[in-house]
Structure 1
Amino acid sequence: MQNSKRALLSLLLCVAVAHIGHAQTDEKAIENQVDKLVSDWNTHSFKNMDTYTTEDVEWVNIVGMWWKGRTEVKSAHQRIFDTIFKGVPFTKKSVKIRSLTPEVAVANLICHVGEFFPPDGVNHGTNRMPEADDLLTLVFVKRNGVWLLSAGQNTVIDSRAANGDSKK
């Protein structure tokens, strides 16, 4: 009886260690995909988007535009990075990944965005958006062993609200 308890305990321990190893491997794979996205923002070219998004990816941008499907998401990103975000630096500050199922995970990315000038990327004297941090929620799905971005949404972090000071 004692040996069977030890065997069961050993088996459970092995399963737990294997699960932790898979979780770490998955998190690293997802973070690599996030890095590809941030790299594309900084190169202002989205030719790599096919390698880290699903065909049916959806994106809600910072001003509430809702893009659907890889072709539209890719084209819309290219358009705004050729204008509004032309030459604007993007810096990944942190990413937190949470597994929902073995095939679905949510990544929360905080990214620092340099100043930019909407709607056309030109400084008209009154259209400057100061540099700020953005919080992105990214949904990843595992397809054929590869983690792919299925949905994304970003929001500017209002430091006054984030600090609980809504009166300033």
Structure 2
Amino acid sequence: MALEVNRPEDAATAFADAWNRHDIDDFAALFSEDANFVNVVGMWWKNRADIEAAHRATHETMFRDSRLQGVVSPVVELSPGVASVHYRWTLTGASAPDGSPAGTREGILLLVVKKEQSGWRIKVAQNTDIVPGAIAPPSKTR
């Protein structure tokens, strides 16, 4: 099922939908051919084919039973046809490298999306785990 991405924020919800269906064809179709993706451990893929191959491999193993849920933050328009979208996520059902349950993880996915003929596509993705207790207190305004 091809996912429609008619608004920038749809890229994040389509990302989670394809992830949860473990449909890596639909997942990869969300990205521009020359997209860049940096995952939570710093692996950097520099095109759609590499992004697809990496996610296909992990969805056959550690993410096979995973579920991604989250909330889209307000979209920031960077220029006409280009926007950033933050997606605050929770991941459950993943496995550790030894096959044991990995437990619940939380993080923030930043997507930079661009309007293309086929709809909004992800040009840049940066995924970050939220480390419990590592969140700095809010800064004071002067």
Deviation for aligned residue 1:129: 3.3
Where has structure 1 moved over 6 Å in runs of 4 or more? none
Cα 1:73–1:98 shift into 2, 3 Å: same
* Structure 1 residue 102 corresponds to structure 2 residue 75: no
Q: Which has the higher strand share?
A: 2
- Higher-RCO chain (CA-CA 8 Å, sequence separation at least 6): 2
In the alignment, which residue of structure 2 is the partner of 1:67? 45
1:148 aligned partner, one-letter code: R
Q: Aligned pair 1:139/2:112, yes or no?
A: yes
Q: Which moved more, 1:44-53 or 1:145-154?
A: 44-53
Task: Give the structure with higher Rg (CA).
Answer: 1
Structure 2 partner of 1:155:
128
| Structure number with higher helix proportion | 1
Consecutive unaligned residues in structure 1, runs of 5 or more: 1-26
CA RMSD of aligned residues (A): 2.1
Match of 1:129 in 2: 102
Relative to the length of structure 1, the TM-score reads 0.71
Does the CA contact (< 8 Å) of 2:9 and 2:72 recur in 1? Answer: no
Structure 1 residue 50: Cα displacement: 4.9
Gaps of 5+ in 2: 138-142
What TM-score results when the alignment is normalised by the length of structure 2? Answer: 0.82
Work out the number of aligned pairs and report it: 133
